[in-house]
Amino acid sequence: MRLRVRIPGHLKEYVPRRAYEGSGGEPGDFTVDVDGPLSLRELLVAIGLQPELAVGGLLDGRRLTRDDVIDSEGELVVLSPIAGG
């Protein structure tokens, strides 16, 4: 299963180079091939990102928790917590 993974904001600083290096992408925008179906948590582990750093995701606009299953190709946006003051 092929996914375009987009990681906006500061969370992309935690993406290891091996996750995007072969795809010609960059830390915040790359393509990954994975065996599926798998949960968002499992996908984050597979690309080397600690699941606790993300609050969820959007798969083609559909909201996902870390435990929701990804079972189709598409564009995944990984959501990080909002902080500040």
Q: Max CA-CA distance within the chain?
A: 40
Q: How many CB atoms lie within 10 A of CB 81?
A: 12
Question: 75, 1 in Cβ contact below 8 A?
Answer: no
Checking DSSP bridges between strand 2-6 and strand 69-70, what pairing results, if any? unpaired
Q: Does the domain at residues 2-79 carry the CATH identifier 3.10.20.30?
A: yes
Q: Are 75 and 3 in contact (CB under 8 A)?
A: yes
- Of the pLDDT bands very low, low, confident and very high (cuts 50, 70, 90), residue 85 is low
What is the tens place of the pLDDT at every residue in 63-83?
999 999 999 999 999 998 877
For the stretch 6-61, pLDDT in tens is 999 889 999 999 999 888 899 899 999 999 899 999 999 999 999 999 999 999 99
What is the pLDDT, as a whole number, of residue 84? 64
